[in-house]
Homo-oligomer: A and B are copies of this chain.
Amino acid sequence: MAISAWPTETAADALAGFSVEDHIGFLLRRAHQRHVAIFTAGMAHAELTPTQFTALLKTVELGRITQNHLGRLAAMDPATIQGVVRRLTARGLMRRGPDKMDRRTAVLEPTEAGVALIASAVACARKAHEAALSPLAPAERDQVMSLLRKMG
C-alpha cells in the first residue's frame, strides 16, 4: 500500500490542497489594493485618500461629531483617526473645537473648503465604485456588496 509508505509528517502533508490564492484573506487584500489604486487615480485632483474621504464625508453629513465617534463610524481605531483628522485639519478641510460639556473630547466640524471639496469628491468616489465593480455583472455587484456587508 503506497499510503502507509509515506512519511508520517511532512510539510507537504500540511500544504496539501492549500493554495494562498484560494484564501479569503489573499483575495480581500488584492481586491482592496485594486480599489485603492482605482480610487487614488480618480481622486487625483482632490488629493483625498479613501480613509480621508470617508472621514470628511461623515463629518460633512453629521456636522458636529467627536473624533472617536467619527472613527467608529468610519471604521478606524482612535490611533488611526487621529492621524487622518490631523491631516484634514492641516489642509483646512475640517476644524477642531473644544466641547464645553466634556473637556476630554475634541468636536469636529467641516470648514467651507471641506464642504466644497466633498461634492466633487463624491462624484469621483461614485466613478471609483463603478470602476472597481466593472468586472462584475450587475447582479453580481449586488451580491458582493451584500456578502461583504455580512462579513463586515
Contacts and interface: CB of A to CB of B under 8 A. Distances in A.
Contact of A144 (B22, B39, B151): B151
A57 B27 contact: no
The DSSP consensus for interface residues of chain A is helix
Interface string A59-96: 01100000000000011000000000000000000000
Nearest to A26: B54
B143 A57 contact: no
A62 to B, nearest CB: 12
Contacts of A35: 24-25, 28
B116 A136 contact: no
A5 interface: no
A108 interface: no
Interface residues of A, number: 58
Given A14-B118, A119-B11, A151 B74 contact: no
A147 B145 CA distance: 10
Q: Which 5 pairs of residues, A with B, have the shortest CB-CB distance?
A: A14-B119, A27-B148, A144-B147, A28-B32, A31-B151
6 contacts: A14-B122, A14-B123, A18-B125, A23-B125, A24-B35, A31-B151
